[in-house]
A and B are shown apart, each in its own frame.
Chain A
Amino acid sequence: MTVLELGRIPIQDVDWGRKTVVEGRVLQIHREGFIEEIRGHDSRITGVEAHIARPGESARILPVKDVIEPRVKVKGRGGVFPGLISGVETVGTGRTHVLKGCSVVTAGQIVGVQEGLIDMSGPGACYCRFSNLLNIVLVIDVKQGITRHEHEETLRLAGLRAAAYLGEAGRAPAPDHVDRFEVHGLSGSPREGADLPGVVYVYMLLSQGLLHDTYLYGHDVKNLLPTMISATEVMDGAIVSGNCVSACDKNTTYHHQNNPIIGELFRRDGTDLRFLGTIVANANVTLQDKIRSAEYAVKLAALLGPDGAVISKEGFGNPDADAMMYCKGLEEKGIRTVIITDEFAGVDGASQSLADTTPEADAVISTGNANERILLPAMERVIGDMRVIERMAGGVSGSLSRDGIRVELQAILGATNELGFETLSAREE
């Protein structure tokens, strides 16, 4: 049995200070030290600005690349974000501290289209829990002439370094609250609640190229055959996002670290269900890869002997086909499923929400219609670059006006997140 203790250190304010340290419930950050850590020795970075955006402020952050929660490995093997800024030793055991209530947000000159925004107040703020976090926003400039792949990698690693650096401030303080997560092995010994239904989690990760990629222990998930992980590994940053295009339903690193399905399955483990295991799978761009991954994931899931499976998706359009394949494969083996997905039902909600369907998908949880439009008021402060909004997903030309911007929910980071992170849903009317 693997055990991870997650100690929460609540952060209620963030400020610049002479040292990077947690004092009471305030995170003080030594700006120069922080920025130096972010630059690392990466010569591709030419400039770093760090800003603080607090909940309730009239501030808009865009374009966002990733959101990462500061954490630190206090006891146990490995370090946070293994394979990228720590070694590749298996994580997910021992003890990890979390600075709860804040995050690192990477923003910057645009790489490709369709990167999202976070509004710290106003109507857009209800759609995204990041609006309620103390966000330490990094605007990172890179050298001219580097490739877009390098640009993305530079920002990704810098964000992780920043989160790890801040996480270090959480090493010493005593957490307010410690959660204990137990991952049961596959051994035959019966445990409590053996008559409860066994549930497996099939965790689909997007793996479709630049700005659509995900990393497992630093390994590009495009090249992954579905495999199993201990659910606690994500809490140490084993899964990192390289994903930010069409922001509404991309899983940021923060989403992976705080995977709500894993949280829910742990919460109910032993009382309503037995949490048997977690299978990570991918969603590639060829039909053969999709079929291969679906077959493989279903095979692994069946080995665990579950009664049911939760399937989470990432993205929309062609990944709908993957989700349907996983669903059909599992149901055909007698493993009942529920799929969490968002919808693209058009601005008026009249369109077909998914690109692919299968009759076996009779339990679907909707995280909302991403095409619904919203008018976001002008904000006093914009961290990042406002001009990009017109090219952003759902920002039609002419959407920038003095009264604000009219965009689809697509443009708001995490608005229709398909791990079921938010409470947004859609119904037929």
Chain B
Amino acid sequence: MTETLKAVLYMNQFFGGIGGEDKAGIEPLAKAGAIGPGLLFREFLDPHVEITATVICGDNYFCERMDDAGEAVFLLIEGYAPDLVLAGPAFNAGRYGMACGAVCASVTRRMAIPAVTGMYPHNPGVEAFRKDIYIVETKGSVAGMRDGVASMSRLALKLARGEPIGTPEEEGYIPRGLRRNYFASETGASRAVTSLLNKLKGKSFITEYAMPVFDRVKPVLPVKSTGEITIALITSGGIVPKGNPDRVESSSATRYGRYDINGLARLAPETHETVHGGYDQTYANEDPNRVLPLDAVRDLEREGRIGRLYPYYYATVGNGTSVANAGRFAREIARELVRDGVQAVIITST
């Protein structure tokens, strides 16, 4: 006989029965048992799940101080030691969607229990949180309440029981933008020819990977003169001190290194090497300056064309390193550089 699971629900001021827009600034609070939509949840969750409590927070209060409010809500939820959390559904309400997303994300991450919410696909909460949590697809208004609650409950129960979760179509959640492997019934070669033939016949054809659109950053203003500033060097060519003390991986790097070059005039094969496995390493190992041009940079620094070279360089491996990791490394590195007054960066890649 399986034990009844305990659930905590999260809602905003309106669904929590406190008030309308005028109450959107209320601080987080908890009430015992199920309230409002909670009664509908109970219909789909009985008898396996008991709704222990409902945590409520004003949409404005949450969104105006997401970190602090998020923490307060999390602590309230944690206090009940639930087995699963359900938030919303938020339909197309943007602030509510962001709050539900944030609550579920922190519960998923910090308590390792399922936390499910429901939103309309255009809710900004979807773009912000879909990679981190399961967001069930709902209609754009409360007309979709019953279906939304039903889908959320079904998915939450599956997650809580550790059952395998199927595709977005099968389970009713919004695609998370995560790539998941599976074994097809035919080989890639066979699927390719079939897809091409359909394309040539003007029929609908399968593409298994839709080309992404990469976001752009507006170019940052240039520096007036590189002779007046501190410049830092970064490489994704995997140049590290000989022996690879930080054990940067030769592919799919999960870490990067930060290396002291204070007073070093050039790199040399005795002191440095490349760990990037994605290209013929011979030339880089013969002369690491071919990938990280320290010798040329020092010459230019001495001549005053570069004001000062930052005394550390950063290295990672571009080979197979996911774009997400590369982004994360860059953000961390950027923080340090800004802190230390670096005003421009030269990045070298293979």
The 8 A CB mask of A190-211 against B (1 = contact, 0 = none) is 0000000101000000001111
Hey, which chain A residues are within 8 Å of B184, CB to CB? 423-425
C-alpha gap A341/B195 in the complex (Å) = 14
B199 touching A308, Cβ below 8 Å: yes
Hey, which chain B residues are within 8 Å of A350, CB to CB? 131, 177-179, 322, 324
Hey, which chain B residues are within 8 Å of A265, CB to CB? 193
C-alpha gap A310/B197 in the complex (Å) = 10
Asked if B305 lies at the interface with its beta carbon under 8 angstroms from chain A, I say no
Asked if B189 lies at the interface with its beta carbon under 8 angstroms from chain A, I say yes
Closest to A311 in B: B192
A111 CB, min distance to chain B CBs, angstroms: 11
B179 touching A428, Cβ below 8 Å: yes
- Of A47-55, A67-75, A175-183, A357-365, the one with at least 4 CB within 8 A of chain B: A357-365
A394 touching B208, Cβ below 8 Å: no
Q: Binding site of A, secondary structure by majority: helix, strand, loop or mixed?
A: loop
Hey, which chain B residues are within 8 Å of A426, CB to CB? 179-182, 208-209
A221 CB, min distance to chain B CBs, angstroms: 14
Asked if A425 meets B183 with Cβ closer than 8 Å, knowing A346-B324, A351-B323, A363-B205, the reply is yes
Asked if B225 lies at the interface with its beta carbon under 8 angstroms from chain A, I say no
- Of B38-46, B108-116, B277-285, the one with at least 4 CB within 8 A of chain A: B277-285
Q: Which B residues between 92 and 106 are near A, CB-CB below 8 angstroms?
A: none
Asked if A212 lies at the interface with its beta carbon under 8 angstroms from chain B, I say yes
Interface size class of B (residues with CB under 8 A): 35 or more
Asked if B176 lies at the interface with its beta carbon under 8 angstroms from chain A, I say yes
B320 touching A396, Cβ below 8 Å: no
B134 CB, min distance to chain A CBs, angstroms: 10
B33 CB, min distance to chain A CBs, angstroms: 34
A343 CB, min distance to chain B CBs, angstroms: 6
Closest to B249 in A: A396
Hey, which chain A residues are within 8 Å of B23, CB to CB? none
Hey, which chain B residues are within 8 Å of A348, CB to CB? 178, 324
A371 touching B208, Cβ below 8 Å: no
Counting from the closest, the 10 A-B pairs by CB-CB distance are A420-B188, A209-B280, A346-B322, A420-B189, A351-B322, A260-B189, A349-B179, A349-B178, A345-B179, A366-B208
11 contacts between A and B (CB under 8 A): A260-B189, A317-B278, A344-B320, A347-B322, A352-B212, A352-B324, A357-B214, A394-B252, A417-B188, A420-B192, A424-B182
Instruction: Give residues in B with beta carbon < 8 Å to A.
Output: 131, 167-168, 175-193, 195-197, 199-201, 205-212, 214, 247, 249-252, 254, 275, 277-282, 318-320, 322-325, 350
Instruction: Give residues in A with beta carbon < 8 Å to B.
Output: 112-114, 126, 148, 197, 199, 208-212, 245-246, 260-261, 263-265, 268, 272-273, 285, 307-310, 316-318, 336-338, 340-341, 343-354, 357-359, 361-372, 391, 393-394, 396-397, 408-410, 417-429
